[in-house]
């Protein structure tokens, strides 16, 4: 794939109970049922609007400071469920206008991020702790469905050093 020049970028900080949508992706906060023993939340239901029918469910542990970006899927829809740590999840259009979005997530803002096919995505683990994420995908992984972009060579103009206004 050719070089992608990011034309615009914005930040969203995931907050408890607040949802949003951008670039075709949708963040849905989890409905957390808490008591003195902890909490419980449903992450997938058959009666959920816009749900991703699972083809595969995976989990990843990533060390602090590691960047895993960017890739996209031709058919597959992803559902990211951040579990622990702190993530900067990045969404990137690969066709003009080549807009990008950074979603800042940390524990306490439980939710799911539905990423449509064709939208490039990746993340960096922020802070000093490892982070874990569960992935529910609409397809079983096949290399033919995936396209990759090297975040440090094929994507220009993305502000990795920029922080959200007011902090994350």
Model confidence pLDDT, tens digit, residues 38-53: 999 999 888 877 778 8
Provide the edge-to-edge strand list for the sheet that holds 67-73. 8-13, 99-106, 86-92, 120-125, 67-73, 146-148
The pLDDT of residue 164: 87
**pLDDT tens column, 45-90:** 888 777 788 999 999 999 999 999 999 999 999 999 999 999 999 9
The pLDDT of residue 153: 81
| pTM, 2 dp | 0.93
Entry field: residues in the chain: 168
- CA quadruple 32, 34, 14, 3: dihedral, nearest 10: -60
């Amino acid at each position: 794939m050719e070089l992608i020049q990011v034309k615009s970028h914005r930040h969203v900080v995931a907050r408890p109970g607040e949802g949003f949508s951008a670039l075709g992706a949708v963040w849905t906060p989890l409905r957390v049922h808490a008591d003195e023993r902890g909490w419980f939340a449903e992450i997938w239901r058959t009666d959920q609007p816009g749900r991703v029918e699972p083809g595969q469910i995976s989990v990843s542990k990533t060390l602090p400071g590691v960047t895993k970006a960017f890739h996209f899927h031709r058919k597959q829809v992803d559902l990211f469920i951040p579990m622990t740590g702190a993530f900067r999840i990045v969404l990137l259009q690969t066709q003009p206008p080549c807009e990008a979005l950074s979603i800042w997530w940390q524990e306490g803002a439980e939710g799911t991020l539905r990423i449509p096919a064709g939208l490039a995505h990746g993340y960096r683990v922020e802070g000093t702790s490892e982070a874990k994420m569960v992935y529910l995908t609409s397809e079983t992984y096949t290399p033919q469905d995936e396209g990759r972009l090297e975040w440090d060579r094929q994507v220009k103009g993305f502000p990795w050093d920029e922080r959200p206004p007011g902090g994350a």
